[in-house]
Every structure is written in C-alpha cells, then in structure tokens.
Structure 1
Amino acid sequence: MTVGRIFHIGVLLLLGLGTKSFAQQKVRVSLVKYGQSEGLSSYNIRQIIKDQNGFLWIASQDGLTRFNGKSFLPYTKQSSQKHRISGPDVRKIIEDTIHKALWVLPNRDQLHIINTTNGDVIKNVSIPNYANDDWNITMANCANNLWIGSFRGLKILNTKNWQFIPPPKIKSDLVKTATNSEINCIARDNFNNVWVCYTGYGIVIYNGSSLKEITEIKLKDFGDHLGRNTIRVNDFTLVNDNEILFATDQGLRRVYFDKFYSLTIENNPVKNLNILNNSPIDAIKTIRPDKIVISGNGHLYQFNFALSSYVIYDESIGEAESKWINYAQSIYTDGDKIWLGCQQGIGMLRNSTSPFAKYYYDEKTGYKLEHMRSICVLPGEDILAGLSSGLILINHSDNSFTTLDKAHLYHHIFLDNNNLAFLSRDQGLYILKNKALKSIESIYPEFKKYKTYTINSHVIVGDSAVIMGTENDEGILIWNYKRHYVRKFDTSSSPCLASNTVNNIYRDKGGNLWVLSDKVITVINSSFTVSRSLDFVSEKKHRKLDLFFDICESGGYYWIASYGNGIIQIDNKWKIRKLIRQKDGLCNEGVYNIFNIKDSSLLITSNNGLSFYNIKKQNFKNYYIESGLQSNSFEEVTSTIYHSKIYAGGINGLTVIDPSKLVVNKRPPILYYETVEVKLNNGQNSVNTSLDIKTLPIPSNWLQTSISFIGINFDNPKRVTYKYRIKEIDTNWINNNHRELINIIGLPPNTYTIEVKTANEDGYWSYPKTLIVKVEPKWFETWLFKLGMIILGVIIVSAFYQYRIKQIKIQQRIRRDIANDLHDDLGGSLNSIKIFTHLALEKKQNASYLNEIEKLITSTAVGLRDMLWVLEDSQDDINELLDRIKKFATPIAHANQINFEHQIEQGLGSQSISKTEKRNLLLIAKEAINNCFKYAECRTITIIIKPGSNNKISLSISDDGAGFNIADKSKGYGLNNMKYRAEQINYLIHYNSSPGNGTTITVEKK
C-alpha cells in the first residue's frame, strides 16, 4: 500500500471519528414489502384501507386485492363471477361499516359493492359517462350520497334508491373544459360537508345534506405560484375539526375554518423545508398523536402538527433494490402501522420506532457491506465495518458509506481507552495515528515479536492493559501499553491455557478471565496465578459440548454460546444447570454472540435469526429478516454493544438493535373461519366463505369437510400458530402449528362444537372461535328408521317366540301321543305277553301260548322301531315314510299271500315332512293296511304317493277286496281313528268303497 493511500485512509478515518454532519436527521427504517413476487396481483397502488374485519384492501392499476397478511385475493375482469369487477384500474375504495359493504370505483363503467363478510360482489351500478375521456378519479361518501369526481366533473349517486341525481351548481360559472372540470380529490370534513377540488377552478365546499354550495376557494387564493391556472389536489388529511391539509402538485396547502366556514388559507405552511411548499406532494396522512406523514419531493417525511420539525424516513435497501419509501402514492394508517401504496407494490412501516436499523447498501456510492467479519462503533456513533474483503465507514448522520479499504479481511476492530482505533488483519495489528495507518510495532516496539499475530477478541483491564485473543492459535497476549510490554500465555506458560485455540475472551465480574476454545474453556483468576479448564467431560450427558464462541453473566449465572448445541447455563460452581436448545424456543442452535440485557434477559445472535430470552419467564421471542434484520445469518465475534445498543453483523450487512424497543406483542391475531367446504359423494361441493359463519349443517351424503381459518397478524404473519378441538370428542387442544386447515372425516351423526384459537409470535392466544357442526344422519341412521328396526325386531322376536311355543306344543302333543301309544299299544302287548306267559307256565300244552307270546313280542318290537323312527330328525322325508310302511306291510302281506305294491311319483321322494306328519301318516297307513288284512279278503294292496291339488302330498291306499258300504261303516272305530289322525296334521281323508269293488282310502293335505 502506498504512503498516499495510507494517508488518504487515515484522513477519512479521522473525518469519520471527529466530525458530525449537520444534514437533516434521517430515521433508518425497514419496510416490509409486498410486490408481485410475494403474490400481489399488480403494482402502482392507488389506495389502501383496512376494513372492520381486519382485512387490507388494495386498489391498484390492475384491479382490487384483499390481503390477510399471508395471501392475496384478486378482483379483476378475469376473476370468477363473485369476484369480478368491470375495470382494471381501481381509483377509490370506501367502506360502509353499517351495511358491511365496500364501494369500489374503477375508472370506467360501473361502481361495485362488495360484501365484506363473504367477499362477494353483490351489486353493480352503472356510472354515466359525459365523454369518451370521462374517467372516474375519486370518491367520497356523505349522508346517503356518493360523490364521484371524474375528468368531466361531479356525479352524485343516492345510495337509497341507487339513482344518480343532478350535481349542484356553483356560484361562479365553471368553464366547461376537461382541465377545469377535472376533480382529483373530494374531502369530507367532520361537519359532514364536502370539499370538491376542481383542478382548473379551485375548491368548492358543499353542504353534505342539502347539496348547496357553502363557499369557494379560487385558484388565485390557493397559491398558483407557477401561473398555470391549474392546481391538482392529490390528497388531503384532517388535522383536527377546524384544519385541513391538501397535498397538491404545487406543494402543501393548509386551510383553517370554523363551523361558519370562515376560511384562512396558508400557502406556505412548512416552516423549515420550503421545498414542500412548492414541489408536488403525492400523499399525506395524519397519524395520532401529533404526527403527519407526507410523501413528496422524492422522500417520506414525518412532521409535527405545526409542520415546524421533521425527520426523513431512510429505507435500508439491498443492492438490486430501489427505495419504495421515496415514491409513495398513497398512505394509510391503522394506528400502529403505516401502509404505503407505492409504484412497486405496498409497504408496511411500523408506526412505533423499530428496534432494528439495518445497513447493507448505499445507493449513492454503490458500496455494500459484503459479509461483515468485525465491527467497531466510534464516538458519535459512526461505525467501522470490517468485511471479508475491505473496510467501510458508515456515517451516522446521513447513513452514507465511505470505503476505506477493498483488499483485506478485518478480523477484529476495537478502541482503547483513548479512543485510538486498532484494526486486525491477516498481516497483523494496525493502528491509526498521525493521520496514517501504521503497523503496531512501528509505534509500540514491544509488539515486534508479535507483529504477525492476528487478533479476534479483546478485553480492556483498568487504564493501561489490553488482553487479546489470537486468531492463529497462539493463545492470548497481555499488553500493558503504559509499561510497554507484551506477555504471551499459551499451553506452555504458567498459568497455562488448556488450548492455544482462542475463539473469544471474556472478563467476568470477579475479574476472572475466560478463554473460549473449540473443546475447552480456560478460566484464569484475576491475579493471573491459577488457571482451571472446563470441558464438561465429567457431566456425562453433556460430553459433546464444544465450539464455545461467547459468554456473559446474567441473573447470577454464566451463559455460554456453544455453536451447534445452543446456550449452556452454568452456576457459580461451574456446574451445568440447563442446556437451552431449539426445542426450548431458541431460534437456532448455531449461536454466535450472547449479551446480558439489564440482568434479566439475553440477546442471542445465531446462524438463523435473533433470540430474546426472558430469564425469569424462561421464554423466547425470535426475530428474522421479515422482522427487520439485515439477514437471518450473523457471524462469529461480529457483534458488540455500545450505549445499550447491540451492533450485530453477518451476511448482507449489519443490524443495530435497541433492546429497549423489543416489546412484546400482546395483541393476538384476529381469527376467522375463512372457507368451509363440504365434499359430497355425488361429486358436488358446498362452499361457505362467510366470516360470520356460526353453524354448519353437513348433509348425510358427505365425504369430507375442510375448514380453513386465518389469524390476521400483519406484524409477523409467518409465525401465527393454531390449536383446535372438537369438544364432544376431546377436551384437550390439538396443536395445528402453522397449518390453517383441518379436515373432518367420518364423524357419526351428531351436533359437534369445533373450537379454534390462534396465537401471535409472542404466544398470546385469541379467544376460541366456535363453529357448531351438525352432521345429518343417513336414512338408515335416522331415529325413525331405528324405531322401525326396533319394532321389527320386537315383531320378529315375538313371532319366533310364538313359533317356538307352537313347536314346543307340537312336540308336547307328539310326546303325549307317543306316551298314549306306548300305554295303549305296548302296554297292552306287554300285558298280553304277561298273561300268555303265565298260562304257558300253568298249562302243560303251552305251544300255542308261546306262539302268541312270539307274535306279541314281534309286534311290540315293530311298534318301538316305528316310534324311534318318528323321533329321528334325519329321516323326515317321503322316501323314509314309504320305506317304513313297506317294512310293516311286506312281511304280513307275504304271510297272507297278498301282493303288496307301492309307488312314489317322481320328484316327491326327497320332500321333507314334519314329525307329526310322518307319525300320523304312518299310523293311518298301518290302520288301513291292517283293515285290508282283517276284512278285505283281497289279493293286492297298492300304496301310491303323488302330488295332490296345488302340488301337495296325496297318500292313497287301495285294495281289490270285498269292499263295504260306506254308510254302514262310517261310524267304525278304525275309520274314525284315521279321520282323527288326518285332522291332527291338517289333512283330509276320503273313502271310496262299495261291496265287491274293493276300498280306496286317500289322505291329502288341505
């Protein structure tokens, strides 16, 4: 480096250190910007307002947009029917809070009315045009009238009948030219009277009720200093009930008035900035208390009410950015924020003083703070910024940058007790003295041995000593600049360091020196006689703690920044009390610097954001680039504190942080159910977008219900969180994090209470918002269907019960009949056997008795088998019946030389019959066959089973014997017995017989 170059740098440094600018004060601000890249549908913003629900409405050159802090809803000619408006260029919007409506004025064709509850366009009113170039410009509402200003004059719409009425005439003749008739601004004062600003005539004040003219302000009285015979009024603001300010293309104008409209006009109201009295003013807005914001002359100003003092808002921008704040076309305030309608989009400026002022780019010089590595605040609050390749001086008064070096990496910059600046580069330590930058050994020879050492940290002890940490793994240096000696401490000295690597050094309240290294911390006592190393190895669960970058004391504890691990809290015995990590609320575990704030809080820089930790409450508030930081990424040992402000550098510049202004946002977001969509199984969807929705009926053919909600929080919309619950299912709240949607599937029919609540970035929760959901039952889930099913069930059970009772009775009857049979048949047979047995024993000629006994036993056995067959369930069909009849009849017929024939019609053999049927049919057949053997004297007996009438069973037993006269035998016991048995099973019995022609007995089911 040449001597001339060094001299030049020295001069610049001295100027930075010793001079102050007398330029007007600029307030460094950060503007939150929303352009087309953020989702805004258009640029060139005409107007911004906020409705009573908290939504922002933006009128632009390409339509209207509703903004909830996160998403934009456009209203254009191409939008869907419910969001469609006629013109692309929206000039004015007014809210009608009584009717929950928004009046939207495009430049042509139609006025639109939008329901602010559901966001739908509900009415369109055609606006008359007086000529092809009759474009609408402005609008104001008063009483029941809308006053519309256009290029061709005044139009008044009565909002009761939605009819246009003739505008009032003015006292003086108004030249009917486009310029004279043009109305760019209409104001309404607090007395409900209307000020119509004609570009080529002046201002005419009308009674808002009667529409009669009250008074006028002619152009000549309004300060037409350019002599153009036109003054275009762009905007106005009411300062109080009796004072109004107009922003015109020829400067600012003030009008005082009373209730009688005696006017006092002040054409040069700005006291200390006359250019605003003459230059074009685009927008103006009163901000309570005692503040007026003015956009004009390429700047944004903040004045007091008297317009006697002001500051200029200076926007911090990036290299490729322009200053939006200098080109604001409209201004809106909602109390704590200022919204700017700019040519590039909308910008939000917090009305309260921001805790952050960021520095990155100087648009005048083109200089920028590329990757800051060190920082030093000079007396007067000018800033020396050491970069990875250069050094820049930031002037506090006008925020301008001066480049002092473009070639070197500056690791560390500090001032000694005499405000002498020391700068550490790779080549060693430099000092500014006698208007030149010189190596330190040229002024302090004791540094000759250490002239190539690079310094990364320092502490000043007393009035003569500086302790410095080295960047090149050489331990620490203690320099007494009054006694002119330098002493080095490392791993081989006494006391020794645990490591020669130094990341940072710190001197605690007890005078102990803490040397922070990668793996270990060395603590040296105040007399520099004893050292102790801390590596936390003994604390088994924290053995991996390393990369110690910074330390501070607060609340009686030490707090250590461990990169990648978070914050280590240790007590005065150097034992770990707590490890604070990202899961505890820390913005990132890659922490760099940590500062004690009023012994109650910590301010922590990291690789992803800034954290403010309340020690007592043990909670965090985190800040990011959208909060006003220069970047989310800070840098190691690139932060310092000066006059209670933190100066923190890193990627893309630095941020000056005022901790006293880091206030907690206690206002929770405004919560609404935004869209409720019910998907049906027929492919159709039901959508509700009303913000007032309280009850949601869900039809029975639903598949899924999606409920989206929004917590409006313009301060930090990305950090809004949500919880919800369905009270009838779970009383506990379900964390939905940042997700603004819940899906409901498969709820059984019932009435449910859904509650949603939202929290801001500081954890302040809103009151729950309730939605009553009524899930309608399907047809088979209705109470009527269930009642019918109960009744049907009762009927079925009752019928089954009756059937079972009937079956039991039948079984009882069968058992009774079988018992009777056993008693009558088997009992009689056994009694006969007993008698014949007795006779056989008494008589010598007993062969006949024994024969009778054999016959009786055989008959009894057959009877028992028949009874068992009747009770057997597996043999209840026609085939088994016929088989049983054959077993009975065949032996007897063969013994009597009688031919026995039988037949079953095809298909009937497997037909089932009940126990009662098979018993009685068998007994009827046996009775009939016995009669054939006893009385018929027949040669053939024939049994035929065939279908009867209506395909029912018919059993026919016939013989070719003697026959009989039915009239004579009808009262016989055998025939009556067969008839009785047929009636038991609901059968009919028919007799067909005559003497000499045989007998046929037919039994068939009724």
Structure 2
Amino acid sequence: MIRFFLFCICLFPQILYANNGFSFRYVDMPLALRDGNIKRTVADRKGILWFSTSDGLNRYDGNHVLHFDLVSKPNIVNNNITTLFPGKDDVLWVGTTNGITKFDLRSWTTQHFLLPDQNGNARRLFVRDICEDPKGRVYICTDDAMIYTIEKGELKLVMDLSKVQTPSKGQASLNGVFMPYPGELWALLRGRLLRLKGEGLDYKVEDWYEMPTIKGNISRSVYFSNSGDVLFFAEKSGLYHFHIPSGHLAKVGTEADSGVHKNRDHFIPINDTLVGILANRVGVYTYNVKTRQLGPLMEDIAGNFARNRVMTTYSADGKTYLTSSNGIMVMEASRSPFRNILERSINETNLQSIRSIYQVNANKLYLGSYRDGFLQYNLETSERTIIMNKFVYSMLRWDDNRLLLATEGDGLQWLDTRTDKVTKLAIDTTQALYQSGALNDFTVSLCRESDSTVWVGSYFGVCLLNVYTGKATIPWQSAAGKPLNRSRVFDIYASGRLRFFSSMEGAFVYDTENGRLEQLLMHMPGGYSMLSIYFIRKVGQEYWLGTNGRGLLVLNERLELMREKNTSNGLAGNAAFSFSQVGVNVFIGTNLGLTALNLQNQREKNYYTIDHLPSNEFNHSATFTYGNIVYLGTINGITSFNVNDLQQYRASKQQTNFSFTSFILGNSHGLQQLDNLPYQPLQQLEVPAGTRYFSIRFGSIDDALAQQTFYYRLHETDSWQEIGRYREISFAGIQPGYYNLQVATSLPGENIFHILAAMPLHILPNFYDTWWFRLACVLCIPLIAFLVFRYRVKQMKKEQKLRTQIAGDLHDEVGSTLTRIYFQADLFSMRSNDKASFQQIASASKDALGLMSDLVWSIDARFDTAHDLVARLRDYVTNLQDELETDCTLEIAGNFENRELSQATRQNFFLIFKEAINNAARYSTGCPIKITLQFCDHIQLSVQNNYDATHQKMKNYQGGQGLQYMQIRAAKMKGDLRVDANGQVFIVKLSAPF
C-alpha cells in the first residue's frame, strides 16, 4: 500500500499534465507595441513585465507602459539591450552592447557600469549574459570571453576565459553563463560547457566537456535539473541529455521526432523531473529527465505555435514568458478542463469568430470562421486547411459522406467529407419564392424535415426546400408569417409535430398537423414578443428560449411562460446565444461567460476567461457535441471540454499577479508620479498634507482580468463603487484620516466581490486641520484675552498717570499763576482810582481759575467715578445759586456709589450740565430750575426751566447755537440729547451710557 502511495506521488505530475496540460495566452499589449519588435522579456516578483525593444527598456503592468532610454529619468546606459535579469531585492540588471545598468526598483534609480581603459576612458563592454549566486552577487559574461562581477560599486574581473586552453580551437566566444548549483559557474565557451568552481572573485576551471560526438555548437538555451541532468540543443545535431556525475551523453528522441531536431529549442521547467521542450513552429513536447523519455506533442497548445517563431523565453513562478513576432505569450501549467483552438490575443482586431462547428471523426473538425471562411482543422496535428473563403453559418449532416452547408452570400453548398470538395446545391431560380427573395443566398440555419426536404432559415424568413428538385415552399399563409418572412432566422428546431423558428423578430411555432403558424409570447406585456430569440430547445417537459436581454425564458408544454433565468438568479449573461446538452448537463453560452446547469440537482456554475476560456462572449448556434466532448464557438476561437472533466474541475484559488502600480499626486508643485509603488515595503501609503487630488493605478498582465469590471471602497463597511474596466482610481476632497483602499472584481451573474488587492491609506491633514492646532487655538483664546486685558489695563494706567500728571501740572503751574494775577489785580484795585479795570482783571482771572479747576477735574483719573461726578454737580449748583441768587432743585435717584465712569463721559456730561444750567439760569422767568439726575443702565439728566414764550429772540437763543455744541458732546459719549419747548417750559434731556 505504501509503495503504491509513493508510486502515485511520483506519477502525479505526469498525470496532472496529461489530463490538463498548459494554458497558453497572449499578453494584451497596448496598441503602440503590437507591431513592435520585442526582443527579450522578464517578469519581476510582482508579475510586472520588463521587455526590450529597439529603442530601449519598457515596463508594462497590464495598464500603462513606461519607457526608459538614454534621456529618461531614470535612464539606461545604452538602448541596444542584449539581456535582462531580475535579481534579488527588486533589482533589474540590464545588459547592453556597451555597458550594464543596475536598476533599483525600490529607489527608482539607476547605476551604470563601464570598463575604463588605461587612460581612464570607457571602452566597449558587450554583455552576453548575466546570472546570480544565492547571495545576490551577479556574474556578467561578455563577448570577449570575460566574466565580471560587481564589488563595492565597481566592475571586477573574475576570469579571462580567452586564456583557457581547450581542445577546441578558434575564437574564444562566450555565449552564456549559468549558476545552477551553489559554488559552480557554468559557461558556454567555444560552443561547449565549461564548469568553474569557487566563490566571489576566486574561480578556477574545474571541467571542460569536449563532447566530440556532437556536431555544431551548443545553443544558449540550456536546462539544468537539480539531479545533475543537463538538456541542451546542438545546432547541427539536435537535442541532447547530459548527466554530469556520470558524464553520460545521449541524444533525445529519434529521427522521427523531426520537430525536436530541426527547430531551435527552448526549455520550459514544469517540475523537478519534467521539462517542456518548445520546438519552434511545431509545438511543445515533454521530457522526463529521470526516465529519459520524450513525450508526445502537446496537442492542446501545438496550434498556437504554428505561425509564431519564439525568440526568447523566461521562466519564473511556474510561468514561462515567450517573445515572438506576435508579441509576448505566457504559458503555465493549468488544471483547466477547457481546450482552446484558434485562440488569438484579445488585442488583435481580426479574431477567429466561430459560427459553426461539425466534427466528422476523432481528428477532423469543420469550422465556419468569420476571418478564414470555411476550414478543416486536424485535432491531432493542429493543421488548418481552408476549403473555401465563404462564411458558413450552419452545417447539417445529410448522409455518411455529405454535409449541407448554409453560407452567407453563396446559398446552400454540398460538402463531400471524403475529399473536402464543395459543390453548390442547385436552386430553381424561376420559382416565385426565389424571385420574391424569400429563398435567397444569405442562408443562416438548417433543420432536416424528411429524406428530401430541409427547412432553410435565411436573412429574410424561412422556407421548406426540396434539395433534389431545388423547389421551395412556405406551408402557411397566415398573417403571423409576415414578421417571420422579413426577419433573420437564427435557428430551427423540430419537436414532435412542432417546428420552432428563432428569429430577430421573436419566436414562432408551426404545427405540421393543422398548418397553423403562431408567434410565441405575442400577448405578453413588456415586449416579450419582440425579443430576439437565438434558440429554442425542449428540456424535459419544458421549452427553453435563449433571448437577447432576458436570458432564458422557460415555457411549459402549452407554450406559456413559467419563469426566467438571468444574471439575477445565476446565469452568466442576459444574452443566451447557444445551447448544448449532454445527459442531465446543459450548457448555455452567453455574452458574459458559460453557464453549466445540472438538471438533476438544479445547480449551476459559471465559467469565464479567468477559468481559461478564450472569450466570455459566445456565438449563436456555434455548438457541437461529439460523444462526451462539447464544442462551443466564441468570438475568439473554439473552446471544448469533456463533460466529466468539467464536473471534476475546481477553479484554482491562486490569485493572479495584481498590484498597485503607480501613485500620482497633484499639489501646488504640480504632478508627481511614483512608479516604484509595487516594490515599496509599505505598511501604509501616506498622502502628504496639501494634496489637492491623488490617484492610484493598478494592473495585471493576466488576460483573465482584461474583461472584468472593477470596484473599490475605502472602508470595509462601505458599499462597493464601480469603476468599470478602467484601472485607475482618482480622489479629490477626501477628508484626512485612515482608510483601507480595497479593489475587487465581481463576475457576471454573481453578487460576490473577490478582493484583488488592498492598500492602507493615511491622508495627512494640513497643520490647521490637526487636533493639536485646534487645541492650541482653544488654549490661545483665553491667553490672547488675558494679554489684551493686560495691555488695556497697562494703557489705562498709563493714561491715568498722564492725566494725573497733566492735572497736577495745570494746577501747580497755571493755577498758581492765575491766583497770583488775581491777588495782584485785587491789590491794585485797592490802591488805584481805576477800580473798574482792576476789578475786571480780577473777575476774568477768577473765571479762568474756575475753568481751569473744571478742566483739571475732568481729566484727573482720580475722579473717574459717578460719586465724584455727583459731588461736582452739587458744588456747581450750590455755587450757581449763591452767585446768581437763582433757585434750583436737584433730585438724584438710583445707585451711583462705587460705579466708575470713563473720562470722556464724565467730562462731556459735566460740560453739557454746565451749559444747560447756565442757559436755564440766564433765560428763566423766575421759577425754580428743576434738575433731575437718575442712575440706572444709563445716566439720565433733565434740566427744566420756565421762559417767556412771547420773547421769540430769547427762545431761539436758548435752543440755538449752544444746543449744537451740546449735541456734539453728547455724540462723543454715545449719548442722546433732546429739547422739549412746549408752552412756558423749556426742557433739556440727556441720556448717556453708564
């Protein structure tokens, strides 16, 4: 039992290959590169392609192309690239005809290495090949038989192989260098293998393998296995197997294996024991290095090489990249059950759109192609033979040796399957149906009715044709036939006595017993009757209709609609083009993928290009079943599968190489693009403060994602946002914070989102949006208020000090002077006879002294209180009564103790008060002057006196110019002054803020 288990383990890789083989696809290159001469290609650890063209180096991520040359940033040392090698730590080595460039993908910088001559000038350095040891040291071989390495940023010579003495004479050409085993450098010197042993700069020749039985030089493509087995191709002898430990040399295959011996080979690693051998313009063989047996030609992919010459190959991570005249191709071991025929790159404009299929025997397949016309395809050799350039829409088996063909533009044709000869079916052109156009040369569908008659669907209806007489009839004359006879008929299906016609104008059914023709779904609302119908098939006790827009319509035996099946309940697409059935398994080809339905367990499964279908879009009626094999025509060749294999197939959970490839910032400095994003070991991507907008590009060279719809979201709780097939997400006005950008795809007919990649984002805020700035602002408000308060207090103290100083100076200087004048004048008045003059001097001085006293009081900061104002007003009223003998009453109300007044309010209020009292005393008629002073939220003053209303002059004077000055003073302290002169009473009212 254990031996059997071990045997199964050893045999498993071979079984895996035999059952499933390789998948083969073209890389969808941009339009500008489709016709370019791509020379070499490699893939970095992110699966991003780097390739050389005649004008330099290119990077392609499945979305955008970046070009590097002598003047780009960064640049390369020379545009003539001879080799590319992806090294450790995301370094790409670019060998050229004159120098080598080290491209650091993480820092996005390049460093160039040239050889200096004796004078310090750069001399020619033609790089042939590059390899790397396990420690990351690179070895470079040049065309002058030198091996160099790079140490401390400089080129160092390891060995000059031109001085190595070998039995082979001639020029010491060095075409390749390899590091298959630790401590061993292998080189292709003079067309033979040379083994060196050592480390670093110290290598010595260990073995020279002369191999005198081999004719011609060994090519650069050499395969080393872990077991010490070497495969190589000799230009004039073919393929050889060399075992290093024993020195045994043997030719692989026999002369019958002409594909291996006559074509330049490339090796495709599969596993430790199995290797693929690619023979140009033939296909791929397999070879087991342990059993030393050459496998047969791999039929699954042989046809893909029939028109291409592979120039270079590169293998990594189970994938092999091939450059050819048609661009870049990718091969990888696959467990897909789908075998694709005539598949082309999806970027080619002239695809193999297949509309009809018929298999005669195990190897012979007839195809109707839009591009090549009608052709015969050999399933064993992958050879194609074009039979005629006419496009064949349908093929109907008539007998053992003949097929009836429905062509577009050339009517019906007979095909002899023994000779592949085509002859036109004779039609009676004199009959009315032919003259009216009902029978025409643009035929689409066929369905046999009897030994001599066949239903023929065309661009303009359907008719029943006798293939021997060439006469056609339409067996009905009902009005329902009018829309049918002006429509293209896609398919005709016979079920018992009923004949179903699927057309662009809907579905029609003809009852052969009663001769009635009816249009299906005619009376249903919602436009069901006008749907284009591609097929009608009976499944059990139901009829299934494939529509353009509503998926499948399911009718009962009474032809009544029962239910629908579309993308909302499991169908891959809403345009159901083709139908195939094998037992309980039904296969529906749609516009967005293939749906497999199991009638027994009512389960469905959808398949897409991600499962290695050649295209997601199928063609109507392009189906054929050969035993357990189903053939389906697509717009990009044919896919076929064994029903049993499909049921056992489980899609691989391995994700495709999918990366965020570029980061673009837009700010005040312009646009900044960071293309080294895939190689950065970032925990999160930071968006700098002040960024106006930014965008993130993503990509993959996997064609399986080329036709997928992408979605993104910034939080796991957010709903997915659709961005279509565009591979760039742009953001503007995003609030600062932490986000987790996720990109996903959702397959048609499914509500499940498959996350492809995620990138944490941190959008940095502007400094004025940060919490610490806002906190600082909050803390600064009381600080600023305190500083303003301190400043105001300081200014007020300064002002008070100044006012006090001025008041003191006025009092001391001016007051003393006026007092002295007063006393002198008074003294002179007693000594002189002119008493009147001296008396006037004394009176004026006394008045000046009073005015000065009032002014000093008004600006003295020590009296800035309401209490001092009231005291001053009382003194003034008392003095006025004594001097003028005028009766005054002063009433004071409200609380005024300990309440401060500004200097401006105190001064202007006092001056208005004096003016109002003086005017009232001067023009009063003898009645007491009534003064009211009230303190509340304002200071309210009222001065009331009686006056003679008949004396117009006095009335005008009391309310005249003096009032104007009082109004000005009231405005200075933001107060309000009014005059009321009614009857015999004159009132001055003042209200000032307290």
Q: Could you tell me the TM-score, scaled by structure 2's length?
A: 0.65
Q: 1:520 to 1:764 in 2, by over 3 A?
A: closer
Question: Partners in 1 of 2:703 and 2:94 — Cα distance?
Answer: 27
Structure 2 counterpart of 1:561: 546
Local SS of the residue matching 1:325: coil
- After TM superposition, the structure 1 = structure 2 runs for residues 83-232 of structure 1, keeping only pairs within 5 Å, are 84-97=75-88, 99-110=89-100, 112-117=101-106, 120-127=108-115, 135-144=126-135, 145-157=137-149, 159=151, 164-167=156-159, 173-174=165-166, 180-190=171-181, 192-199=183-190, 202-207=193-198, 211-218=203-210, 220=212, 223-225=213-215, 231-232=217-218
Q: 1:204 to 1:670 in 2, by over 3 A?
A: closer
Q: Which amino acid aligns with 2:39?
A: I
Q: Give 1:678 shift.
A: 3.6
Question: Partners in 2 of 1:753 and 1:470 — Cα distance?
Answer: 59
Q: 1:421 to 1:732 in 2, by over 3 A?
A: closer
Local SS of the residue matching 1:265: strand
Kept in 2: contact 1:243–1:256 (CA 8 A): yes
Gaps of 5+ in 2: 1-20, 345-349, 428-432, 797-863, 879-884, 927-932, 944-961, 967-971, 974-992
Q: 1:553 to 1:56 in 2, by over 3 A?
A: farther
Among 516, 522, 546, the residue aligned to 2:531: 546
Structure 1 counterpart of 2:853: none
Question: Partners in 1 of 2:656 and 2:417 — Cα distance?
Answer: 56
- After TM superposition, the structure 1 = structure 2 runs for residues 195-344 of structure 1, keeping only pairs within 5 Å, are 195-199=186-190, 202-207=193-198, 211-218=203-210, 220=212, 223-225=213-215, 231-257=217-243, 261-266=245-250, 268-273=251-256, 275=258, 279=262, 281-288=264-271, 291-296=274-279, 298-305=281-288, 306-311=292-297, 325-332=308-315, 334-335=317-318, 337-343=319-325
Among 56, 62, 83, the residue aligned to 1:69: 62
Q: Give 1:346 shift.
A: 1.9
Local SS of the residue matching 1:539: coil
Local SS of the residue matching 1:181: coil
Question: Partners in 1 of 2:712 and 2:386 — Cα distance?
Answer: 55
Kept in 2: contact 1:30–1:628 (CA 8 A): no
Structure 2 counterpart of 1:421: 403
- After TM superposition, the structure 1 = structure 2 runs for residues 871-882 of structure 1, keeping only pairs within 5 Å, are 882=911
Q: Give 1:79 shift.
A: 1.9
Among 859, 883, 889, the residue aligned to 2:918: 889
Structure 2 counterpart of 1:766: 755
* RMSD (CA atoms): 6.1
Kept in 2: contact 1:747–1:775 (CA 8 A): no
Q: Give 1:237 shift.
A: 1.0
Q: 1:313 to 1:643 in 2, by over 3 A?
A: closer
Q: 1:571 to 1:164 in 2, by over 3 A?
A: farther
Kept in 1: contact 2:105–2:676 (CA 8 A): no
Deviations 1:707-734 (A, max 9, x none): 4142435132423544333339x64333
Kept in 1: contact 2:369–2:391 (CA 8 A): yes
Question: Partners in 2 of 1:944 and 1:490 — Cα distance?
Answer: 118
Q: Give 1:292 shift.
A: 3.3
Among 639, 642, 645, the residue aligned to 2:626: 642
Q: Which amino acid aligns with 2:535?
A: D
Q: How many residues align?
A: 808
Identity fraction in percent: 13
With 759-768 and 673-682 compared, the bigger mean Cα shift is at 759-768
Among 748, 756, 776, the residue aligned to 2:742: 756
With 486-495 and 593-602 compared, the bigger mean Cα shift is at 486-495
Question: Partners in 1 of 2:914 and 2:657 — Cα distance?
Answer: 95
Structure 2 counterpart of 1:835: none
Deviations 1:576-611 (A, max 9, x none): 4555668889787665433346645533255xx764
Question: Partners in 2 of 1:200 and 1:315 — Cα distance?
Answer: 31
Question: Partners in 2 of 1:613 and 1:584 — Cα distance?
Answer: 13
Q: Give 1:217 shift.
A: 0.4
Local SS of the residue matching 2:775: helix
Structure 2 counterpart of 1:32: 26
Question: Partners in 2 of 1:373 and 1:759 — Cα distance?
Answer: 30
Question: Partners in 1 of 2:610 and 2:937 — Cα distance?
Answer: 95
Q: Give 1:756 shift.
A: 1.4
Q: Which amino acid aligns with 1:708?
A: I
Kept in 2: contact 1:721–1:738 (CA 8 A): yes
Q: Give 1:516 shift.
A: 3.2
Structure 2 counterpart of 1:901: none
Structure 1 counterpart of 2:704: 716
Structure 2 counterpart of 1:786: 775
Question: Partners in 2 of 1:404 and 1:36 — Cα distance?
Answer: 34
Q: 1:817 to 1:920 in 2, by over 3 A?
A: farther
Q: Give 1:184 shift.
A: 0.8
Kept in 2: contact 1:36–1:42 (CA 8 A): no
Question: Partners in 1 of 2:502 and 2:769 — Cα distance?
Answer: 74
Q: 1:758 to 1:668 in 2, by over 3 A?
A: farther
Local SS of the residue matching 2:207: strand
User: Is 1:52 aligned to residue 45 of structure 2?
Assistant: yes
Q: Give 1:265 shift.
A: 1.8
User: Is 1:703 aligned to residue 691 of structure 2?
Assistant: yes
Structure 2 counterpart of 1:595: 580
Q: Which amino acid aligns with 1:890?
A: N
Kept in 2: contact 1:876–1:915 (CA 8 A): no
With 349-358 and 705-714 compared, the bigger mean Cα shift is at 349-358
Question: Partners in 2 of 1:919 and 1:457 — Cα distance?
Answer: 109
Q: Could you tell me the TM-score, scaled by structure 1's length?
A: 0.65
Question: Partners in 1 of 2:440 and 2:915 — Cα distance?
Answer: 129
Local SS of the residue matching 1:752: strand
Structure 2 counterpart of 1:742: 729
Structure 1 counterpart of 2:37: 43
Q: Give 1:752 shift.
A: 1.0
Q: Give 1:746 shift.
A: 3.4
Deviations 1:923-951 (A, max 9, x none): 9xxxxxxxxxxxxxxxxxx99999xxxxx
Local SS of the residue matching 1:330: strand
Question: Partners in 1 of 2:404 and 2:964 — Cα distance?
Answer: 133
Q: Give 1:878 shift.
A: 7.5
Structure 1 counterpart of 2:430: none
Structure 2 counterpart of 1:831: none
